[in-house]
Amino acid sequence: MSYELQPTVAIDIIATLPTLAILSLFTADHDLHRVRRAPLSPFFSRAGVAAARTQGMVRAKVERLCERVGGFAAGGGTATEEEKNGEKIVLDLDAAISAFQRDVSTGFVLGKSYDDLEKEDFAVGMAHFSQGLGRMWRMTKHLRWYGPLMLSIPRDWLIQYADERAAQFMRYTKSSEAETDRLLKDAAANFASSSQDSNYQPSTIVHAIVNSPDLPPSEKTLTRVFADVATVTGAGFETTAGVMRLVIYEVFSNAEILGKLRAELDDASFAAAAASASAVNGGDGGSSGSDGKKILLELRTLEKLPYLTAVLTEGMRMSPALATRAQRVAVDRDIVYEEGGSYGGDGKKDKEVWRIPAGTPVVMTTLFMHMDERLYPDPKRFDPERWLRMTPEERRWADKTFSPFSRGARICLADHFEFVSNQFIIGTKGKSVLEVLVKHRE
C-alpha cells in the first residue's frame, strides 16, 4: 500500500528572526546557503581546528578555568552564591563552564576573547540570557510576530533599562559588532597581499569572508558579516557548555566511569612520556614537565582514546547541540519512505510506502532519535560503554541516527571545534577540570 502526502510550506527553523534568516548563513535559500558557507568551511575544518594556534588558545583557557575552579575549591574564590562571613563558598560550575565556552568561541571566531573567565561571577547573566533565548525561539516558531517585535527594540535602550542579564548580552553584541567592524577594515586593508599569498590562513571568520573570491561585495558588508559572527558565536555558547555540564555531572556521579576515564588518561600519559623520552626529536605525544613526567596530552593523542571518546559521545547523545526539530527540504525530487526500513523494523514483507512531494519539510526531533530504546537500551542512563560494545549492525544504525550537530549540508559548522574543546577540558591530563575536582574532593 502506498500513500502520497500533500506538499506544505517550508518554514526555516529561525525564519522568525529576520536578521539571521535573511542575512546569515542560516538563510533558508539552499543556493545562497552554500555560497555563504563555502568560505567558512576550511576555517572550521578538522585541520583548521587542529592548528597549533587554536590548540594553544583552547589549552590556555582550560588552564585558566582550572585555576579559577581550584581557587574556589581551596576557599580562595568569590561568587554570587558566596555565603558571607567566610563560612562557605559555593562554586557555580555551570557559570564557569559557560564562561569558558564563550571565551573559546569568541577567541576562535573573532581572535578576541571577552574574558568572562576573569569576571568574579563568570558573567553568569550572559549564560542565563542565552538559555532564555532558547525558550524565546520555541515561542517564535509559532508566534511569528514575537521575534521581529523583540528585535525592533533599540539595543542602547535595552542596555540602559533592561535587567542585568539582558544588558550584559546587549553590551556583548554591541562590542562584538564593533570588533567585527574593526576586523573588516583590517581584512580589507590587507586584502591585496593576503589574496596573493597561497599559504595565507585567515585568523578570523571575518578575514575568511573578506578574502573569499567567490563572494560579491554585497556579501562583505558589516551588517551581513556580523550576522554570521553573531550566529556562529552564539550557536556555540550554551550548546557545548550544556554537554560539558552533563558529562562532568555524570562522570562524578559514577565512580566506575570516573575510574576508567582517569585510568585511560594515565595510561596515555605514561605512554606518551615514554615515547617522548626515547624519541630523538622529542616524540609526538605531547610536552613533558621538568621532572620528565607527562602533564599534557596533544589533540592527536586525545583523539585516539576510545573511552574518552565514548564519554563525550554519550554526553552528546543525551545533550545534543540541536535537540529540537531541524527540518530539511528536498526541493527538486520526491522522497520515498518505506515503513519498517529503520533499525528494529517489524519485518513485514508487504511494507507501506509513503511518497513525500518535493518541497515538503521533513523533520525528526533529534532527542527522540537519541532516546530510542531500540538503538540505545535504557536510553536515560549515561553509559559510555554502549559505544564500545555495539555490534556492527547497531553501530551502522547508530551512525545513521546519531546527529548531535544535525546532518547533511547544514550540519553545524563548528562541530569539530566543539568536540575538540570538550576533549581538552576533560582530557588534558594534569591540567583538566576533571583532575582539579578530583584533587579537591579527595
pLDDT digits (tens, 9 = 90+) for 297-306: 788 888 889 9
Say whether 412 counts as a known binding-site residue: yes
CA-CA distance, 175 to 230, in Å (whole number)? 11
The correct answer on CATH 1.10.630.10 for the domain covering 18-240 is: yes
The segment(s) of the chain belonging to CATH 1.10.630.10 are 18-240
342 vs 201: which has the higher pLDDT: 201
CA-CA distance, 393 to 390, in Å (whole number)? 8
- With the C-alpha atoms ordered 330, 28, 220, 115, is the resulting torsion angle positive or negative? negative
pLDDT at 173 over 80: yes
State how far the alpha carbon of 441 is from the alpha carbons of 19, 123, 171, 337, 364, in Å. 47, 26, 37, 53, 41
Written as one letter, the residue type at 197 is: D
pLDDT at 186 over 50: yes
Query: DSSP string covering 178-214, please?
Result: HHHHHHHHHHHHTHHHHHT-TT---SSHHHHHHT-TT
CA-CA distance, 355 to 338, in Å (whole number)? 9
The residue whose grid cell reads 533529534 is 366
Position 122 scores a pLDDT of: 92
The stretch 402-430 carries a mean pLDDT of 79
Position 139 scores a pLDDT of: 74
The stretch 165-178 carries a mean pLDDT of 89
CA-CA distance, 181 to 117, in Å (whole number)? 25
